[in-house]
Amino acid sequence: MDAPTPDIRLLDQARVAGGVGPAHVMTVSMTLEPGSPGSPPHRHSGPVFGYLLEGELVFELEGEPERIIRTGEAFWEPGGDLIHYQAANHLAEAPTTFIAVMVCAPGEEMMTFVSEQELAERAHLRHPRSGG
């Protein structure tokens, strides 16, 4: 009797230009409490791939409009110089949990926070936000 074929579904894919050379790859699980703004604006030294396990995530990268990622959806960001403005819990009454696989340059932090001065200097690169 043959074993059943696994149910494999493509969730997301991306072409990654260049690489970070030898890489430190880590997988993390993050849970954001209801209404949590998540991490302050930051960047990653390499690409990040994620999958939302539960909830809704407000996701905003430099140059792109903010968007809502929902349970069962995947996301990615290229890393490098790009600022990651938001990964916030969109829900006021429930947690949001996601898995992220981060490809980091060896010896560099997985996440580097951006100063207020740099945010001001790069404000012209942020996509216009709705409502303000």
Please give the span between the terminal C-alpha atoms of the chain, in angstroms, as a whole number: 62
Which amino acid is it at 25? V
Block means of pLDDT (10 residues each) for the chain, length 132 residues?
A: 73 68 86 94 93 97 96 93 94 96 85 94 88 47
Q: What is the pLDDT of residue 75?
A: 95
Whole-structure pTM value: 0.82
Among residues 105, 88, 120, 87, the alpha carbon closest in space to that of 44 is found at 105
Among residues 99, 98, 92, the alpha carbon closest in space to that of 33 is found at 92
**What domains are there in the chain, each with its CATH number?**
24-125 (2.60.120.10)
Q: List alpha helices for the chain, DSSP H.
A: 116-121
Q: What is the pLDDT of residue 132?
A: 44
